[in-house]
């Protein structure tokens, strides 16, 4: 289950205050004319002079306009920033618009004086990273790069292609500094560590949702009822359930599995095995893939494969093919991130009206133990390349974005005023609901939540209304300017879950309310399934049963990793596939471990532990 394209829904959810909007297709058409023709002038500047000294209302010598309180208003004359963006096939636009020209870009250009050039457009994260690699090789990276991996950041920074951000972070608008401080605290200081090269920070992490840190097990509860079985708790329960399922549906797949072999997550928790993580054993960090726990997991998977519980040809199936299986009702347990409720679950529910799904707790071992290694808080980031002439613009955008998102959060207004002497740029604004939610859900039944197509009736004169529209949020997400940097306790999710349980809809935050309406319009099962998962994760993150452990390695890719990982990954994938498929005996795992150590693993372990001791 490696490739999920439904990141876009996260974008909407990351926005932690109200999101509604003012414009739709109506204003998209003609509003961009005034700045279209004006030439972009090079506005090179440093923000070190601070924002407060600027003349009210006028442009300073760098061509940046600030208001009396020092809020960034616009670039005059406008500037151009190039970037890369991921637009998947399920993302849609209002008529006549595309990623390069839409309400958001027009608004940016007209109101903020920032013109965006989408230099590279990719359909998914993998090809996005490949394009960035190619752009790097041909020295053609855009000004701002987003959805960059940790190892790419290291590589680009070492080659001198990135701008160090330390100075810009220090002089960023107060609201950005507040969020950075908050994120640093939440992550116990590790916020920037993967992106720090030679003591300088080179990227802003793109935050993960708290419940996104590991996969959840989605179980078809209607099949469970049909088989007269209980929700499995231990690995023995799982054996019994699969045996009963296989007897009834010999062609069914007990565990959804594609060539990325993500399905092993279902049994890994029972043995405490982890994928691609570094875990502490006797004070030393060890690579999770070579542990005996993984061997036990593979042995179990091989057993399931032999018994016919898993697709015999999983190794040639990609995620889309497996999703087809799920949609056709051919899968019992699907391990995936929470947003699988959108794809493949929503099409599945539409296809099989009687199907019900529940996120079930992780499978325990027969001794009752259960360990799940969660991901780090971030996997991607955004950075600014060294040829970008206006790095500060990115931080103004962060500021403007956060200000607009949080305009209705009174608590935050107070905190920022007291602690950071910061007045919000945007006023408290009444939140409107999208007017065409039901129509969109009807027109696009199999897209989880096509927020890009929602329309709102905000008054045109409303300042900064762009950020209040879901569509703008999405565009922000595509470009890496989405809401908070790290979101740990999400009030929207929490109140939405509460409302569903108590039936009291008044407890919801404005955004939760709009999500609630939209999800219900898309498919009522979305909410029900999500609420179950959310509650479970909420308990786990509170430390319930001590199930969660963290990947302890948060550093950049080490030199030996860069050099040897291609071979080591190949070796692992090959060995694991052959063990599961029964082509090689389980003891082949020991050979793999030896080979791993002999071909760079020893050095990698050393480097990782050096990093670990340097952080203590």
Partner 1 sequence: MASTTKNTGAATKTPFSTYFRRKWQLYFMLLLPAVEVLIFNYIPLAGLSIAFQNYNPGAGGLFGSEFVGLKWFRTAFNMPDFPSIFRNTLTMAVGKIILGQIAAIIFALLLNEVGNPFYKRTVQTITYFPHFLSWAIIGGIFTDMLSSSGVVNQFLGLFNVSPIFFLGSNQWFQPTMIVLDIWKEFGWGAIVYLAAMTNINPELYESAAIDGAGRLRGILYVTIPGISSVIVMLSVLNIGSILNAGFEQILMMYNPAVYQTGDILDTFIYRQGLLDAQYSLSTAIGFFKSVISLILTLTANYLAVRFTDYRIF
* Sites of contact with partner 1 (CB under 8 A): 130, 133-134, 136-139, 155-156, 158-161, 259, 261, 312-313, 315-316, 562-563, 565-567, 570-571, 573-574, 576-578, 581, 583, 595, 599
Q: Any residues with CB less than 8 A from the CB of 374 and at least 6 apart, and which?
A: 213, 214, 548, 549, 550, 551
Closest distance to partner 1 from the beta carbon of 319 (Å): 14
Closest distance to partner 1 from the beta carbon of 86 (Å): 18
The strand pair at 204-207 and 378-384 is best described as: antiparallel
Q: How far apart are CA 453 and CA 538, in angstroms?
A: 31
Q: Which own/partner pairs from 278-285 qualify as long-range (CB within 8 Å, at least 24 positions apart)? A: 278/551, 278/552, 278/553, 278/608, 278/612, 279/373, 279/549, 279/551, 279/552, 280/552, 284/609, 285/552, 285/553, 285/605, 285/608, 285/609, 285/612
Give the residue with the Cβ less far from partner 1, 136 or 178. 136
SS3 track for 481-504: CCCCCCECCCHHHHHHHHHHHHCC
Closest distance to partner 1 from the beta carbon of 98 (Å): 24
Q: How far apart are CA 152 and CA 358, in angstroms?
A: 37
Closest distance to partner 1 from the beta carbon of 258 (Å): 10
Closest distance to partner 1 from the beta carbon of 580 (Å): 9
Report which secondary-structure segment, H or E, holds 218: strand 216-220
Give the residue with the Cβ less far from partner 1, 71 or 161. 161
Closest distance to partner 1 from the beta carbon of 603 (Å): 14
Angle at 426 between CA 422 and CA 427, to 5 degrees: 105
Give the residue with the Cβ less far from partner 1, 591 or 613. 591
Structural contact between residues 121 and 43, judged by C-beta atoms closer than 8 angstroms = no
Closest distance to partner 1 from the beta carbon of 130 (Å): 6
Give the residue with the Cβ less far from partner 1, 99 or 580. 580
How buried is residue 563: exposed, middle or buried, by Cβ count under 10 Å (0-12/13-18/19+)?
middle
What's the CA dihedral at 518, 25, 15, 398 to 10 degrees?
170
Closest distance to partner 1 from the beta carbon of 322 (Å): 13
Give the residue with the Cβ less far from partner 1, 271 or 576. 576
Give the residue with the Cβ less far from partner 1, 231 or 583. 583
Q: How far apart are CA 391 and CA 559, in angstroms?
A: 29
Give the residue with the Cβ less far from partner 1, 514 or 560. 560
Give the residue with the Cβ less far from partner 1, 77 or 260. 260
Closest distance to partner 1 from the beta carbon of 314 (Å): 9
Q: How far apart are CA 36 and CA 135, in angstroms?
A: 27
Q: How far apart are CA 432 and CA 502, in angstroms?
A: 24
Beta bridge partners of 550: 374
H helix runs in 138-250, sequence order: 150-158, 166-170, 174-186, 221-227, 235-248
Give the residue with the Cβ less far from partner 1, 504 or 567. 567
Give the residue with the Cβ less far from partner 1, 131 or 444. 131
Number of neighbours of residue 203 by Cβ within 10 angstroms: 28
Q: How far apart are CA 76 and CA 34, in angstroms?
A: 12
Closest distance to partner 1 from the beta carbon of 42 (Å): 22
């Amino acid at each position: 289950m490696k490739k999920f394209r439904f990141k876009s829904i996260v974008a909407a959810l990351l926005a932690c205050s109200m999101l509604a909007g003012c414009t739709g297709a109506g204003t998209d058409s003609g509003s961009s004319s005034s700045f279209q023709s004006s030439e972009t002038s090079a506005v090179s500047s440093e923000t070190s002079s601070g924002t407060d000294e600027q003349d009210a209302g006028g442009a300073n010598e760098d061509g940046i306009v600030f208001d009396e309180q020092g809020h960034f208003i616009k670039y005059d004359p406008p500037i151009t920033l190039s970037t890369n963006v991921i637009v998947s096939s399920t993302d849609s636009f209002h008529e006549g618009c595309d990623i390069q020209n839409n309400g958001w870009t027009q608004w940016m250009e007209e109101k903020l004086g920032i013109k965006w050039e989408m230099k590279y457009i990719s359909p998914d994260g993998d090809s996005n990273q490949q394009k960035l690699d190619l752009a790097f090789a041909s020295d053609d990276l855009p000004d701002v790069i987003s959805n960059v991996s940790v190892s790419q950041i290291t590589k680009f920074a070492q080659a001198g292609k990135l701008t160090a951000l330390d100075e810009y972070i220090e002089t960023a608008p107060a609201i950005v500094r507040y969020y950075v401080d908050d994120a640093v605290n939440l992550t116990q200081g590790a916020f920037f560590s993967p992106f720090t090269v030679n003591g300088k920070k080179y990227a802003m992490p793109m935050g993960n949702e708290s419940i996104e840190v590991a996969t959840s097990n989605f179980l078809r509860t209607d099949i469970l009822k049909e088989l007269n079985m209980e929700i499995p708790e231990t690995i023995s329960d799982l054996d019994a359930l699969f045996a009963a399922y296989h007897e009834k549906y010999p062609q069914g797949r007990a565990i959804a599995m594609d060539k990325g072999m993500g399905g092993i997550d279902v049994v890994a928790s029972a043995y405490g095995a982890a994928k691609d993580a570094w875990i502490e054993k006797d004070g030393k960090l060890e690579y999770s893939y070579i542990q005996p726990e993984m061997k036990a997991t593979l042995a179990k998977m091989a057993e399931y494969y032999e018994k016919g519980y898993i697709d015999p040809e999983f190794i040639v199936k990609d995620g889309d093919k497996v999703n087809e299986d799920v949609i056709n009702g051919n899968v019992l347990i699907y391990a995936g991130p929470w947003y699988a409720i959108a794809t493949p679950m929503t099409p599945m529910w539409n296809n099989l009206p009687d199907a019900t799904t529940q996120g079930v707790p992780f499978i325990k071992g027969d001794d009752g133990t259960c360990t799940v290694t969660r991901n780090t808080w971030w996997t991607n980031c955004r950075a600014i390349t060294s040829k970008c002439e206006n790095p500060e613009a990115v931080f103004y955008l962060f500021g403007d974005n956060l200000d607009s998102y949080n305009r209705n959060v009174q608590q935050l207004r107070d905190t920022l005023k007291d602690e950071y002497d910061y007045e919000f740029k945007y006023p408290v604004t009444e939140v409107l609901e999208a007017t065409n939610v039901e129509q969109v859900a009807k027109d696009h039944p199999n897209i989880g939540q096509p927020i890009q197509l929602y329309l709102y009736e905000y008054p045109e004169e409303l300042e900064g209304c762009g950020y209040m529209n879901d569509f703008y949020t999405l565009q922000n997400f595509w470009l890496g300017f989405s809401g908070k940097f790290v979101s740990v306790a999400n009030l929207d999710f929490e109140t939405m879950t509460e409302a569903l349980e108590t039936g009291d809809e008044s407890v919801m935050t404005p955004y939760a309310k709009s999500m609630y309406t939209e999800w219900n319009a898309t498919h009522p099962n979305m909410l029900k399934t999500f609420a179950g998962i959310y509650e479970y994760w909420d308990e786990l993150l509170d430390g319930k049963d001590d199930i969660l452990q963290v990947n302890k390695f948060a550093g950049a890719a080490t030199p030996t990793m860069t050099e040897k990982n291609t071979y080591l990954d190949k070796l692992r994938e090959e060995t694991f596939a052959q063990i599961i498929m029964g082509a090689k005996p389980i003891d082949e795992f020991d050979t793999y471990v030896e080979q791993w150590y002999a071909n760079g693993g020893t050095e990698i372990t050393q480097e990782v532990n050096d990093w670990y001791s340097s952080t203590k």
